Structure 1
Amino acid sequence: MERRLAAILAADIVNYSRLMDEDEAAALRAIQRLREELLEPEVYRWRGVVAKRLGDGWLTEFSSVSDAINCAVQIQKSMAEEPVDLRIGVHVGDIVHSNDDIYGTGVNLASRLEAICQAGFVVASGEAMRLAKGTLNEPFHESGSAMLKNIEDPVQIWSWPKPLSEFAFLGERGGAKPRIFVVPFQSRSDEARDLADAISDDLRTSFSRQSGVVLVTSRELADFLLEGTVRGRGDHWRISVQLTDLDSRSSVWSEWFDELGDDLFSLQDRCVSRVAGAVRVRLPQLLSQKTESQPMESMDVEQLLNRAMNHNFTPSLVSWEESRKALELVLERDAENWMAMTMLCFNRIATGRIFGWRGITQGDAGLAKRMIEQACRIKPADHVVRMVRGAYFLYVERDTHAARLELEESLRLNPIFYHSIDSLSQVELYDGNFEEAKQLADRALDCDSAYPYRHLYHRDAGYADLMLEDFSSALDHFQRADRAAPDLPWNLIGMAVSRLHCGDREEARRTVASLMEAVPDFSLDQMESLPFQDRVHWNKISSALETLST
């Protein structure tokens, strides 16, 4: 391995994932134009070389730091009429070439500088500016200093064309979403290698669609590293995965899955769903733990969103009320935060749906409608927004047709989003399509065993089994839901009705007594019916409860 001193220019396309979601063909054309006509030719004109292409970014190497900085400015000038924006960082330091890759302090710091850069800017380190003094074609502006992630000392920041108004994120990443890098999964056999490559690709696609995480194409920019292996023998496959927190250099989650079968596409889909779902819920938990002793008033927007999501993972009314407070604080600071609007709508709907039995209050219904309609105007192509809008139509408007359209759109945007799968199972249930409801509920239950909403999926599968008159299976699902989230009204109601139909009237009565103990003001007369389109199906539940109450 050769080690040498060099200037590194790190460039990255701004909002690449969003651009790909909105118009993949246009985004790919823009990248091709950058490669063939703008960025790479300019690098070569300034005697640089392209050391590494990163999909939506570049690492380039120069022997002269002034050439690197002048090149960066010229690239940004040429981007004025382009449909995409770049961020560029420049630093000088040791680099190492190994196996067609490039490493070293020069690479790490250039990548960190690029990451705090605003769109259309060039950011250079104080060291690079010191070496280039008197040789630059454009004036740079001192922008203070910053503690960059995994860099021990503060770094002096210089920028062009003007001082940075703010850093895109700082070393502790308090104001930014977590960044994840998917390492290509490892394998040994050719067939396993194909599956490993496919799983890696699909995980990248899944994370690029998730609202609460940023997919990066370089481990130097990442907060978390996801890696794994695929091994196969005959039709038996084992997929092992590990999530590493790069701040602490520790493994924060690991799991392995055993799969049987020769349908590799189906196997691939199941694995990606489980892994992406598991990571999706663990990141807010991990990030929230880092600020658990911090008062909400001192948190920034992203920290508050993580706190709110983590509270939603605990099935208690007190925890969900804390989530509501965090979301309201976000909206006080950022009135256009579409994710906070979406989560607040879901919080108000689900608070009644999970913990209540009378249904959503009129005030909460009005708030939920305002929040989700505004969020949908701002972010219509987000799968979480469309899922929550579907939940609003289903549980507030009781409109299964409108709910179905929203949930199908959510699944078009993200086909492996468990909550949309489960919510669509509820639409099928209330429309009277019980077999379809059961199949979808079972798909949702294919999630990671520690998935925090799994108790809801068991409950919903239980009601599908209840309508199919598979009462023993229904009882099993309700019991599993109750063990995960004890004493919730709709779990106890399902358990009581299932036990009655299983012939255990005494145990069914004891379950109703447990319901009255958990919810002392429970009343059949005030209980809101589930939104079955055919009242006959709801009567099966209400009449059983009336029998047990006499």
Structure 2
Amino acid sequence: MTEQRRLAAILVADVVGYSKLIGSDEAGTLAELQVLRTDLIEPQIAKHAGRLFKSMGDGFLIEFASAVQAVSCAKAIQDANGEGRLPLRIGIHVGDVVVQGDDLMGDGVNVAARVEGIAEPGGVAITRAVHEQVRDKLDLGFVDKGAIELKNIRRPVQVFVIGGTKIDNQATAPALPDKPSIAVPPFQNMSGDPEQEYFADGMVEEIITALSRFKSLFVIARNSSFAYKGKSPDIRQAGKALGVRYLLEGSVRKAGGKLRITGQLIDAETGSHLWADRFDGDLADVFSLQDQITMSVVGSVAPKIGQAEIERAKRKPVDNLDAIDMFLRGIAQMHELTQRSYEEALRLFYRTIELDGGFAAPYGMVARCYAYIRGQNWSVDKDLEVSETRRMATHVATLGSDDALALCSVGYALVRICNDDQLGTAMIDQAISINENLAVAWANRGGIGVLLGQHDAAIEQLQRSLRLSPLDPEAYWAETTIAIARTCQGNNSAAIIWTTKALARRPDYMVAFWVSAVAHAFSGKLDDARACIERMRDLNPAMRMSNLRAFIPLRRPQDVEKTIEGTRLAGLPE
């Protein structure tokens, strides 16, 4: 039998926020929907010579012989519905459809359905094919939204809108803030279950709240992000409308007793994907699942934005750097892990402070640099390191009492450089109370625990930091610190596993070679231990048994003596 096809104008209409309305008042919503259909939609369909070929709950699919009839009908429906309790979005496309009895299928229908999601509540969105046929016949003030990539549609579709609020008008688009900015639109409910709609909305609100704790981020409030609920906006247009550089999109799908949540971080300027992941869990404990996913998403997204911003700052001309660019370039220098790069990072952070003395983060980063310089045995003036760390701590206490990154950075330095265990620990604990999703705060807390000999608690804290940010470029530090704790506990096989992980990330991290040498020596693998010592001395030729005690930061005498014994056994020259 030959497949029947024809050209048709397809109108798709959908009630905005229907699932939520049903959840709050099922009987009343169903009654109002019936009135909307019989008293408004069906009469307008008949008046404009259309045919309702499918209705699905709150959705209506209507066929017209011409685009003019379809758009005229859509406009009449929206004008008559006005500010009704059941606002509609409408999408229209002209295209080829497949006829199956009274039903229609194919791209002509699919594109109309996707375009409907772009319309504002109370508005109408149409494709270029429709616009070409109606622009000279209907004076409706069409707004070109540009070519938009629609889900499961092979090529971008140029879309025009009429009616509704033009939230993406570039003339009124807010300027980008002076720090990384992100919006989290509502996640799509792919399961059709209203209960999952609440779960998805609640999770997005949790994510927005958690991201807001990062003082380095500008996070769009929930009410603005939720203007896109139920839509599939063009990423670039949404970014401009909200005044953000990044968008975090996601979806929720229910299958049996399981939930699957997907998320993706997108650069709104380029449309490129920076991160994507999916999370599966049981419906039996949805609130625990919500917390777990929020922690995982936020812990992954915040460092990814940081990396993207660092790359952006590195591309800027040197003569056009402001305080935040200077700060980001300093972070990039720290990632290089050389003595020269840390000297340059210090210069950049001090310059950042000159440009913006009210910005707390660079004070914390100065202290962090000094702590790392001490840890790598690069110190030139230890008295200066102590005095500057205390000066930075004073500024952070004054300026950054709510800045978790600054607090945890200077807190660690106070313990490592100044031996001020009480104040340093208190500042890191304050950072964690402000932002429990900040991976580096947990890493620094665990690092202090290892220094003080609190190995079991420290390992748990360090592993939490790795769960929060498994792809963090600085994860090697937490892995090496876990290895130190395992060595002190006598679990040398575990220590070797952790140093292997750390060196796979950073093959030039001297401390990891030292810990690996000790663990291999105690395991009887002396050839491997000596190889690690040789690599360690390639990175720092000044290392000797005679100056090792000054290098080891551990406080418990038994931990110090054990690592000295292992280093001598590994073959470090006297």
Mark yes or no: TM-score above 0.5. Answer: yes
Deviation at 1:428, TM superposition (A): 2.5
User: Does residue 1:387 correspond to 2:391, yes or no?
Assistant: no
Q: Which residue of 1 aligns with 2:524?
A: 503
Deviation at 1:151, TM superposition (A): 7.1
Q: Which residue of 2 aligns with 1:164?
A: none
Gapped runs of 5+ residues in structure 1?
2-50, 52-95, 109-148, 156-168
The 3-state SS of whatever aligns with 2:270 is coil
User: Does residue 1:412 correspond to 2:429, yes or no?
Assistant: no
Q: Which residue of 2 aligns with 1:183?
A: 185
For the residues of structure 1 that align with 2:313 and 2:444, how far apart are their CA atoms? Answer: 32
TM-score norm. by structure 1 comes to 0.65
Deviations 1:23-74 (A, max 9, x none): xxxxxxxxxxxxxxxxxxxxxxxxxxxx9xxxxxxxxxxxxxxxxxxxxxxx
Q: Which residue of 1 aligns with 2:570?
A: 548
Q: Which residue of 1 aligns with 2:421?
A: 400
Cα pair 2:339 2:378 within 8 Å, conserved: no
Deviation at 1:268, TM superposition (A): 3.0
Cα pair 1:421 1:440 within 8 Å, conserved: yes
Judged with a 3 Å threshold, the aligned counterparts in structure 2 of structure 1 residues 474 and 261 are, in CA distance, closer, same or farther, namely: farther
1:392-471 aligned at under 5 Å gives the runs: 392-471=413-492
For the residues of structure 2 that align with 1:483 and 1:505, how far apart are their CA atoms? Answer: 21
Deviation at 1:454, TM superposition (A): 0.8
For the residues of structure 1 that align with 2:168 and 2:285, how far apart are their CA atoms? Answer: 43
Cα pair 1:349 1:360 within 8 Å, conserved: no
Judged with a 3 Å threshold, the aligned counterparts in structure 2 of structure 1 residues 448 and 533 are, in CA distance, closer, same or farther, namely: closer
Q: Which residue of 1 aligns with 2:261?
A: 239
Judged with a 3 Å threshold, the aligned counterparts in structure 2 of structure 1 residues 379 and 500 are, in CA distance, closer, same or farther, namely: same
**Count of matched residue positions in the alignment of Structure 1 and Structure 2:** 402
Deviation at 1:182, TM superposition (A): 0.8
Deviations 1:429-453 (A, max 9, x none): 2333222122112211213432111
For the residues of structure 2 that align with 1:485 and 1:200, how far apart are their CA atoms? Answer: 35
- Which of 479-488 and 490-499 deviates more? 479-488
Deviation at 1:478, TM superposition (A): 0.6
Cα pair 2:365 2:410 within 8 Å, conserved: no
Deviations 1:134-164 (A, max 9, x none): xxxxxxxxxxxxxxx98777x8xxxxxxxxx
The 3-state SS of whatever aligns with 1:446 is helix
Judged with a 3 Å threshold, the aligned counterparts in structure 2 of structure 1 residues 529 and 288 are, in CA distance, closer, same or farther, namely: closer
Judged with a 3 Å threshold, the aligned counterparts in structure 2 of structure 1 residues 500 and 412 are, in CA distance, closer, same or farther, namely: same
Cα pair 2:362 2:406 within 8 Å, conserved: no
Q: 2:302 aligns with which of 280, 302, 320?
A: 280
For the residues of structure 2 that align with 1:240 and 1:97, how far apart are their CA atoms? Answer: 24
User: Does residue 1:201 correspond to 2:210, yes or no?
Assistant: no
Deviations 1:71-115 (A, max 9, x none): xxxxxxxxxxxxxxxxxxxxxxxxx97337999999x9xxxxxxx
For the residues of structure 2 that align with 1:361 and 1:101, how far apart are their CA atoms? Answer: 67
Identity of matched residues, %: 19
Gapped runs of 5+ residues in structure 2?
1-10, 12-82, 84-117, 126-140, 146-166, 225-237
Judged with a 3 Å threshold, the aligned counterparts in structure 2 of structure 1 residues 315 and 258 are, in CA distance, closer, same or farther, namely: farther
For the residues of structure 2 that align with 1:440 and 1:202, how far apart are their CA atoms? Answer: 22
1:17-416 aligned at under 5 Å gives the runs: 98-99=120-121, 171=175, 173=176, 176-187=178-189, 188=191, 189=193, 192-217=196-221, 218=224, 219=238, 220-221=241-242, 222-233=244-255, 236-259=258-281, 262-353=284-375, 355-356=376-377, 361-416=382-437
Partner AA of 1:399 in structure 2: D
Q: Which residue of 2 aligns with 1:66?
A: none
Deviation at 1:458, TM superposition (A): 0.7
Deviation at 1:190, TM superposition (A): 5.2
Q: Which residue of 2 aligns with 1:46?
A: none
For the residues of structure 2 that align with 1:324 and 1:150, how far apart are their CA atoms? Answer: 42
For the residues of structure 2 that align with 1:411 and 1:101, how far apart are their CA atoms? Answer: 45
User: Does residue 1:534 correspond to 2:556, yes or no?
Assistant: yes
Partner AA of 2:260 in structure 1: R
The 3-state SS of whatever aligns with 2:545 is coil
Judged with a 3 Å threshold, the aligned counterparts in structure 2 of structure 1 residues 195 and 487 are, in CA distance, closer, same or farther, namely: same
Deviations 1:522-542 (A, max 9, x none): 123223344433211111111
Q: Which residue of 1 aligns with 2:534?
A: 513
The 3-state SS of whatever aligns with 2:427 is helix
Deviations 1:361-392 (A, max 9, x none): 32233222212311221221221222123212
Q: Which residue of 2 aligns with 1:475?
A: 496
TM-score norm. by structure 2 comes to 0.63
- Which of 287-296 and 491-500 deviates more? 287-296
The 3-state SS of whatever aligns with 1:249 is coil
Deviations 1:261-300 (A, max 9, x none): 9544443333223322322222233234334343333211
Deviations 1:483-520 (A, max 9, x none): 21113221011101111122211211121111112211
For the residues of structure 2 that align with 1:349 and 1:385, how far apart are their CA atoms? Answer: 14
Cα pair 1:228 1:240 within 8 Å, conserved: yes
For the residues of structure 2 that align with 1:193 and 1:512, how far apart are their CA atoms? Answer: 57
Deviation at 1:235, TM superposition (A): 6.0
Q: Which residue of 2 aligns with 1:143?
A: none
Judged with a 3 Å threshold, the aligned counterparts in structure 2 of structure 1 residues 313 and 185 are, in CA distance, closer, same or farther, namely: farther
Deviation at 1:224, TM superposition (A): 1.5
Cα pair 1:284 1:307 within 8 Å, conserved: no
